[in-house]
Structure 1
Amino acid sequence: MKTLSKNIIVLAVAVFVFVIFILTNSVYGAQANVQSAIDNMDFERKSKNEISLSFSSSGINEVNRYVILRKDKTSKNFVEIKKIASKDVSKTGNITYTDKLSTTGYVRYEYRVDAYLKTGKVLKGKSIYASNVLVCLDPGHFQTKNAVEGNEGYGYSEAMAVLKLGLSLRDTLKKDYGISCVMTRTAESITIDGFSDKNLDGGHISLRGDFAKRNGADIFISLHTNSNNPHANGYPTDSQPLAINKPIIILNSLAKENDMCINMANKLGENLTKVSFDEGLSKSKSFDSVKKGSIGEWTVAKNDSITTNGSVYYRLGENGDYYGVLRGANAAGVFGMIVEHGFHSVPEVRKKAMQSDLINKWANADAKAIAEGFGF
């Protein structure tokens, strides 16, 4: 009898411990869900005066209220901007809040959401950057345009390389700098207003630049890699020396008169020059920055030179800006620029682009310059 009673007590203790274990793990599991939800807050730039914040309601049954906080670049501390009671929102899906901004300029805030649990514990979320800036990225060309054939082509195509670059740049701008993007294409083909690929670029290429205006973008940036005239410098067309490799930035008529755009273009050139030099893809670590009123016009001689540094230019044609994409943006009232990241006519550039992380380094360099250009 005593043995039976002892066994019953041991069993009861075991059951009690098991129940406590299950309940404890259930609580910690729910809290982990809440922490993950607020750590992964996302944002969308709705307009110049609206930033939409969203996060998952996972674990909401453990939450009494959420508090959304904001901090600008001049402040040391976060300031509460919104309380959201858990009883007032859906138990499934995402919880959203739109921060309405009273500004006419470019602004970026750091946001965080904290969860006040029913137990009294407070969970602090990871902060994110979010701005009211919208950039239109235009990966140049389409399909496998400007492919370099042969073994030393390394499978390089300008169109495919700048698509990869654009997608990486889009993600980096949002994740690291809080800048949203729209893209003229996110796949090999491009279609705008029913015109696709060759038909678009052959007769309606200005629609690429106009696309920025339709989507409310603050700036249009067309992504490219460069080439040269046939047999430039006495070398085969696609076997140019490292000395030709340099970034070239071309501004549209609106951008070349705007200090912010000029500053951004200079930073793009400086950052890309550093990448090329650090990667052993350039003989020069200097970029010739410019000021408003002193921007030169692009020429073939400057482009193909093996003794000239990279710089910022403009180029005009019979109908205004020479390049259709820049002409389209300019006509729509949008700042625009073409960024030539390097010369794909240099074998070493093609090889690094295809066999290393050069394209991601270009994207990081671009993102930093774009953010700095907007003052972030």
Structure 2
Amino acid sequence: MSRVDTKTTTRLEVPPRDYLYYRDALANQPLPAAFIDLDQFAANLERLKLRAGSLPVRLVTKSVRSVHVIRRILAAGPFMQGLLCYSVGEAAWLASEGFDDIVVAYPSVELADIRAAAVQIKKGRSITLMVDCAEQVIKISQIALEEDVVIALSIDLDMSSAFPGVYFGVHRSPVHDVPTALTLAQFIAKRQGVVLEGLMGYEGQIAGLMDDVPGQAIKNVVVRYLKRKSIREVNARRQAVVAALKKDGHTLRFVNGGGTGSFESTREDASVTELAAGSGLYAPTLFDHYQAFTPLPCAGFALAITRVPKAGVLTCSGGGYIASGPIGPDRLPQPWLPAGCTLIPNESAGEVQTPVRHSLATPPSIGEPILFRHAKAGELCERFNELLLIEGGKVVDKVLTYRGEKKCFF
């Protein structure tokens, strides 16, 4: 298994970015446009490597959604190892594009997608499908027998914590302890065409929940307390399940855990053989306020100013790129540069226009951009066909997103 080479270092800091830097870089580019700042991106990748310590990192593709960017990340070094896809269809497509060592993070019962994955497995690609119940295993094994292949499976272990009066976590899997994990593993062992190779335990309440949000001091204290309590419980649960599976005769090729926001605590679990991350590279706004780390904003989108309805207000074209999850202001894209711009609550980010308030002495003019950041990482790519890659103050390349490749997996 590849391990981190901590002797290799790159520049972790880059000069602060201001509005003029991006305005000039995007001059003459058609807007709206999404972009990646490659200098900031490289720094985030290096920070992720250092935070991972000795564990390899499996790239979460839903947080990237661009084949070119995926290749760039995997080329960064052996500490990046394999892909964690969000769709079986996506995994089959990426395998056809030459990628290997692919794990699908979510179960699927779409037979056409499972068959497409089986076809790639028959060609020699490594694709592991996720399961958490017998019904999923049955469907996968049927396809495997029809295609005359053996399909590797991974069990999705629930890593949520049920405290008195508080369900702290996400509703993912019914496999939540040693007995349920052993029951499923033994069922897999009796089926033809499938083999158990991995376990995934994603602690979403640790990895995806900010705990150092300005203006929320009391909530931050509560979240940190719940996190500490949950970490002890779920790490012990994952360790117990891994030990029980091995004692029962099941050989695990990998034990996957964590996300961008939980590297430090996931590394405490000695049963984990690899980490998973992706959002920490684009660094969306939902990853701005963690106590343990601070990524550099590197992904954004630019909207053209098309109206000035009154003093102190600039109206941009487009912009209604709302993130998934619980409805709330934190799911809205946020004005980024120039500093001092804010959304107007009664209108917010709209499908065809987004007005912003500002207090700028010299505001940008009609035709110039306002820069925004998305709340989540890869979801931005569902709105754009291409990403502009900015390096050294210039657009140095334009690369396709999944959407630009005419792919939509959900």
Asked if Structure 1 and Structure 2 have the same fold, meaning a TM-score greater than 0.5 normalized by the shorter chain, the answer is: no
Higher helix share: 1
Query: Structure 1 length as normaliser, TM-score?
Result: 0.21
Query: Structure 2 length as normaliser, TM-score?
Result: 0.20
